[in-house]
């Protein structure tokens, strides 16, 4: 058995993040390839994401309403064969980070007299 990590794809033209609208699966579920696993929303569209593999859901990252970065882990599966991630690696669960505004709001702009 192997571990397969499905990362949030870029479903728009260069979008950097998407909102997780809802899950169609939960940890422990067996899924078939192309089964709908989650709904996400960008500023351009709401999209149903389908599973790229058949397997058992080991981890589902994110809660409905949460913004997720494109390329971040979305779902981890246990699959037949080698998978695409190390089975020894612990499930990644990065804490969401809010962007930090620059000191003073904006950088100063020098004005010529």
| pLDDT one-digit tens code per residue, 11-33 | 877 788 999 999 999 999 999 99
Q: Does the pTM of the predicted model rise above 0.95?
A: no
Please answer whether residues 4 and 79 qualify as being in contact, where contact means their C-beta atoms are separated by less than 8 angstroms. yes
Structure tokens at 100: 């930090």
More reliable by pLDDT, 70 or 44: 70
Q: Which fold has domain 2-79?
A: OB fold (Dihydrolipoamide Acetyltransferase, E2P) (2.40.50)
**CA distances (Å), 89 to each of 1, 84, 92, 93, in order?**
14, 11, 8, 12
| pLDDT one-digit tens code per residue, 79-95 | 998 878 764 444 444 44
The rounded mean pLDDT for the chain is 81
What is the greatest pairwise CA distance in the chain? 70
Give the integer Cα–Cα distance in Å for 7 and 35.
Answer: 16
Give the integer Cα–Cα distance in Å for 104 and 26.
Answer: 43
- CA neighbor of 66 nearest in space, from 38, 100, 29: 38
Domain ranges across the chain: 2-79
């Amino acid at each position: 058995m192997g571990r397969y990590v499905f990362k949030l794809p870029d479903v728009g033209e260069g979008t950097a993040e998407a909102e997780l609208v809802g899950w169609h699966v939960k940890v422990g579920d067996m899924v078939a390839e192309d089964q709908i696993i989650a709904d996400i929303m960008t500023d351009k569209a709401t999209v149903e994401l389908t599973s790229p593999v058949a397997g058992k859901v080991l981890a589902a990252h994110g809660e409905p309403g949460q913004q997720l970065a494109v390329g971040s882990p979305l779902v981890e599966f246990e699959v037949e064969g080698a998978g695409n991630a190390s089975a020894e690696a612990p499930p990644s669960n990065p804490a969401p980070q809010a962007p930090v505004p620059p000191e003073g709001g904006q950088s100063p702009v020098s004005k010529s007299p």
